[in-house]
Structure 1
Amino acid sequence: ALASTVDGGLRNGIKYLLHHQVPKNFNEDPIREVERTHRELSINSNEAITFLTATELPKNHVMHSEASNNIEVEVSITIGLTNPYKIEGPEIKTWLTGMSTINMAIIINKPLAIQAMIDAITLAAQAKALTLAELTGNRMHGTTSDAIAILTPINGNREPYAGPATAIGRAVVYAIRGTLIKAYEIYRASPEPSGDP
């Protein structure tokens, strides 16, 4: 796995993927919160990747799978839009109105080399930003606390690339777009009290 979560980085032996809800006024050490959660669940922290969010779970969680040409991509997204950002020219505009976030776990059935995992995480971030821009009339590209994880099998021949010219890259973009659109529709149907853009 390659993850931008607080317990992320380049990791092996992952058995658990957690979406953990924290209070909306959460202001604690995120690493301690992750460790406490693992202790409560009797999970070995070396075997887990943990996303933190203040959005309402499980309501604002969507899982969606896509398969084509022997490539299977499963995406798990939690969505909350109360701390959005937008890239505008050389600046990043932020509206810090809450602690919700967009967390995405992308599980790919093909083993990937490290550089391919970087390809996939790059495409995932781009797909998220472009899809959000489209859904919000270009009012936002993400939230300031977004996290992404790419998870792949350890065993087997590792694919060297997963960029936009590859079937894996295209499958990742397609799956993320579909999942994020579903998550956004659910979220907007009953939004959290916030100053969402």
Structure 2
Amino acid sequence: MLVDYPCWLLPGMIPDIYCFLFQQHTFLIAAARPLEVLGSAVLGGERQTARYIFNHTVDKDYASPHPERDLALLARDMGVGEQAVGLMTAVDVRHTVTQLEKHGDLVVAVFATVGVGNLCSAGVAAPWPPRAGDQHGSLSNRQAAGPVTVSSPKRWGRVKSCGQDGSGRYYSPGTINLIVLVDGNLSRPAMVNAVITATEAKVLALQQAGLRLPDGRPATGTTTDALVIACTGRGPLLPYAGAATTVGRMIGQAVHRAVEEGIAIYQEKYS
């Protein structure tokens, strides 16, 4: 059952864009017309257009060897078929943070779930790298679990509380998932620009929060972060989205605030 969640997007802020919650575990963005997309999503990461973007909470010990297949089954259950891009997280999607920026007819909406339980510093070896093939947002700071067969996404529970793995280490939900939705017309190079701008803003928020690896190095993200850039295609073509541009400034500010707020939620709920 899809439940309308207008609190995630002010009514009318972006025409023909709607937000829903599916079975308490999946945050879904639905567009009346296809969006241009670019990202690193588990499902549909290769797509250039999509009508649906969703972020799904899996259990903290989810260990399916086929996450893309599992999300495809979930997309089918939601009735969004092959027009969807899907992300996974161990963070409860009911804690999705939304930040909005508006400048004239240009609108940027950022939707974020923030877990910082498996921090890394890009460019140096992570102290606890993820298991081989673990790219879907499950936790990496634990011993390898046996494969889990998932016959239906309806079995997936929402995130559980933190605990200990077999080695005695404590672990907690990780992954920073960002969906950046622009009510504007980004060129393909501008969408790549937007990836850079959003990532830099995420890193700034992490470092300003003082998040560090156990060896003291500043964190730049988690081992399983994912990002989707989407735009409606409305308005004049925007060739760039770097920090010096209006749309880049809007993306940077919205992402920075979203990650900042998400970190605060994480520290309250999971630490």
Higher relative contact order (CA closer than 8 Å, sequence separation 6+) = 1
Give the fraction of aligned pairs with identical amino acids, expressed as a percent: 28
Say whether residues 1:93 and 2:126 are aligned partners: yes
Say whether residues 1:117 and 2:185 are aligned partners: no
Query: Structure 1 stretch 163-172 or stretch 151-160: which is displaced more?
Result: 151-160
SS at match of 1:187: helix
Deviation of 1:68 after TM superposition, in Å, equals 2.4
Aligned to 1:16: 52
Q: Determine which structure has more spread, i.e. the larger CA radius of gyration.
A: 2
Which structure shows the bigger proportion of residues in helix conformation? 1
Q: Deviations over 1:118-152 (max 9, x none)?
A: 00011111111121111124442111110001110
Deviation of 1:157 after TM superposition, in Å, equals 3.4
- Normalised to the residue count of structure 1, the TM-score between the two structures is 0.87
Aligned to 2:262: 183
Distance change (3 Å), C-alpha of 1:156 and 1:50: same
* Unmatched tracts of structure 1, length 5 or more: 193-197
Aligned to 1:66: 101
* Unmatched tracts of structure 2, length 5 or more: 1-36, 129-139, 142-170, 213-217
Give the Cα–Cα distance (whole angstroms) in 2 for the partners of residues 57 and 106 of structure 1. Answer: 16
SS at match of 1:93: coil
On the 8 A contact 1:94/1:144 being kept in 2, the answer is no
Aligned to 2:230: 151
Aligned to 1:133: 207
Query: Structure 1 stretch 25-34 or stretch 183-192: which is displaced more?
Result: 183-192
SS at match of 1:178: helix
Equivalent residues, number: 187
Q: Deviations over 1:149-194 (max 9, x none)?
A: 11101354321111122111111101111111111111111215xx
Aligned to 2:81: 44
One-letter code of the match for 1:15? R
Instruction: Provide the alpha-carbon RMSD of the alignment.
Output: 1.8
One-letter code of the match for 2:71? V
Query: Structure 1 stretch 133-142 or stretch 106-115: which is displaced more?
Result: 133-142
SS at match of 1:65: strand
Distance change (3 Å), C-alpha of 1:67 and 1:40: same
Give the Cα–Cα distance (whole angstroms) in 2 for the partners of residues 33 and 100 of structure 1. Answer: 19
On the 8 A contact 2:185/2:236 being kept in 1, the answer is yes
One-letter code of the match for 1:4? S
Say whether residues 1:25 and 2:68 are aligned partners: no
SS at match of 1:39: helix
Give the Cα–Cα distance (whole angstroms) in 2 for the partners of residues 36 and 83 of structure 1. Answer: 27
One-letter code of the match for 2:259? L
Distance change (3 Å), C-alpha of 1:64 and 1:133: same
On the 8 A contact 1:133/1:140 being kept in 2, the answer is yes
Q: Deviations over 1:90-143 (max 9, x none)?
A: 523243325621100001111111000000011111111121111124442111
On the 8 A contact 1:83/1:94 being kept in 2, the answer is no
On the 8 A contact 1:62/1:182 being kept in 2, the answer is yes
Aligned to 1:195: none
Give the Cα–Cα distance (whole angstroms) in 2 for the partners of residues 123 and 148 of structure 1. Answer: 12
- Normalised to the residue count of structure 2, the TM-score between the two structures is 0.64
